[in-house]
Amino acid sequence: MHESSSWTERLNKPAILAWIISLAGMTLWLYGYVVTGNASLIDWRADTPWWIADFLPNIESEIGMAVVCVGLVLVYWPLLSDSNSNRSSDAHDNG
């Protein structure tokens, strides 16, 4: 028999929160990409290739991209901590 479970039961609350943070960052980046905003913190045109500079035209898009990265780290953080704890417990079991 197959137990039916909704997608919310399979995801834990920190993962859902991380995806919400990531989507909020994507929304802010898209807003910064479309509208003319404030000046950038970093002069991307002088320091990077043109195709990177085009993705980060102003401070709104920079903050949005940083929030996306934070959200993605939070999405995969439980996986990283679980694999590290499994490795350390395996080392103690085998040692």
pLDDT for residue 62: 92
Position 85 pLDDT exceeds 70: no
Q: Model pTM?
A: 0.69
Position 17 pLDDT exceeds 60: yes
Q: How many domains does the chain have?
A: 1
Mean pLDDT of 39-51: 89
- What residue numbers bound the domain in which 35 lies? 13-94
Mean pLDDT of 24-43: 90
Q: H/E/C letters for each residue in the chain?
A: CCCCCCHHHHCCHHHHHHHHHHHHHHHHHHHHHHCCCCCCCCCHHHHCCHHHHCCCCCHHHHHHHHHHHHHHHHHHHHHHHHHHHHHHHHHHHHC
Mean pLDDT of 38-44: 88
Instruction: Between 53 and 83, name the one with better pLDDT.
Output: 53
Answer yes or no: is 4 within a domain: no
Answer yes or no: is 71 within a domain: yes
Answer yes or no: is 8 within a domain: no
Answer yes or no: is 43 within a domain: yes
